[in-house]
Amino acid sequence: MYSIVNTATIFGIDSKLISVEADISEGMPIFEMVGYLSSEVKEAKERVRAALKNAGYALPIKRITVNLSPASIRKTGAGFDLPIAVAILSAIGIINCEKLPSICLCGEIGLDGKIQPVNGVLSMAMEARRNNLQIMIVPKDNLVEARLVNDLTTIGVSQISEVIELLNEGVFEAKEEALEIEETSQEDMEYDFSMINGQQALRRACEVAISGMHNMLMVGPPGAGKSMIAKCIPSILPAMDSDEQLELSKIYSVCGMFDERGGLMKKRPFRSPHHTVSPQGLVGGGQNPKPGEISLAHGGVLFLDELTEFTKSTIEMLRQPLEDKKVNISRASGSFTFPADFVMVAAMNPCSCGYYPDLNRCHCSRMSIQRYLAKISQPLLDRIDICVEAPTLNFAQIALRQKNESSADIRLRVEHVHEIQRKRYKNYDFKFNSQIPSSHIDMFCPLKAEEAKYMEEMYEKYSLTARTYHKVLRVARTIADMDGCEDISLLHLQEAICYRGLDKHYWEEGI
């Protein structure tokens, strides 16, 4: 007696279709499972045996062999419990369903036969649809998530007995259940730029950064408002389109962080990991690689507060993702690529005590400040487009009662600049000024004679590298777009150079 059932396993943030084969034959009574299985999958046989017994279906006293194919893919997670149980019940004749080859199942089974939710159902449902399967049977708690995938009949179940009855009846019609979805929008932001008093230069830098999707570093004393401004930045990002929502939702689904009540994720993510985060927690990894914070920030903002407190080996791992907008992780089980297209916003103090260059309050020695600043390497700084100072606010600025410009007003301007870039780069594989390849710099950032002479002087004065030179041109291109100018002017280059001048002042000219 033999049967085969379809399921899927998570592979990175995608899924791969898996065939669960069950064979019941004469011989020594044994329940054996093969197919490159992790420990939690191997434990499925005990959960399935107990669940079927408690549901009134005792396993036959025969040799039971279950194979999860293809054997070259490592199987992880508890979502194989339900397909294993269905494959065995089909092999012994309790389940008789002609449509089984067109069905994909997933779910963890409790010892009492209850179907428990699993991670990554959205990715599995997308894989099932891609392989032309017609029906997806999932835990009831994952039903809203599975129904986000169109052209696939999805059915939620809560007990193993319910699955057996459903398959034997052979009627697969999705019940119109009242599934509550909380509507959210980009307007539902806790932080808004209207809450920020003063810091006009910093507000301008934030708008430039988001208009061209440039990375930004804020340097200033404690209490200057760096963290609060960073939390306001997602509120000026344009709303995500449907493809972005689906990709981000898939990442959170795989990580077990997807909130079904909200449907597809509509808010831009804002991730702010603590400085004790591990390298794997930041960029992703592990024995069975999972996305890290940079992938959870995909399409949004990654905020690194107290940048100098992160271990150097951890933040240096950001170099490649900041350039490529993705992270590649290789393990013995395969190579995984996680998306990491985010805007990095970092904040730090200018010295250990936090008050340099106010020498009335800062008592750090020159060597102490140099050691503190040396925690951030020049190659990492080269990948940060905009560096801006956040000065201390005086009482008058804090107590000022006036209506500040709101995030909604700033977002309208940002959307206009994004539309300019979308039209300009519609025939290329990049979308924003920050992503212009070096080979296309001369095409999209041409300089006239006066501007070229100025940049030559700045190149020598600030000892720029080829990378930082191109960064300046990309930022200038964004500033020109904000002003509605086709050509980059001297004024645009001067502002872009100002955003490089701060790191030069702190890191090389010394104290």
pLDDT tens, position by position, 234-278: 999 999 998 899 999 999 999 988 886 667 888 999 999 999 999
Number of residues written out for the chain: 511
Q: What is the pLDDT of residues 171-230, one digit of tens each?
A: 887 665 545 555 555 555 678 888 888 788 899 999 999 999 999 999 988 888 899 999
Quote the CA–CA distance of 246 and 314 in Å, as a whole number. Answer: 29
Quick check: bond before 391 cis, omega within 30? no
Please state whether beta strands 343-348 and 216-219 pair in parallel, antiparallel, or not at all (unpaired).
parallel
Let me know if domain 2-169 sits in CATH 3.30.230.10.
Answer: yes
Segments making up each domain of the chain, as ranges? 2-169, 193-507
CATH topology match: 2-169 vs 193-507: no
pLDDT for position 275: 94
pLDDT for position 510: 45
pLDDT for position 10: 92
Kindly report the pTM of this predicted structure. Answer: 0.88
pLDDT for position 511: 43
Computed from CA positions of residues 317, 273, 243, 337, in that sequence, does the dihedral angle turn out positive or negative? positive
pLDDT for position 187: 54
Quote the CA–CA distance of 33 and 75 in Å, as a whole number. Answer: 12
DSSP assignment of 85-105 equals: HHHHHHHTTS---TTGGGEEE
Under DSSP, the state recorded for 296 is H
C-beta of residue 98 within 8 angstroms of C-beta of residue 66 = no
Computed from CA positions of residues 423, 425, 429, 432, in that sequence, does the dihedral angle turn out positive or negative? negative
The CATH class of the 193-507 domain is alpha beta
pLDDT for position 374: 84
List, for the chain, all residue ranges whose pLDDT scores fall below the cut of 50.
Answer: 178, 509-511
Which H/E stretch holds residue 485? none
Quote the CA–CA distance of 130 and 285 in Å, as a whole number. Answer: 26
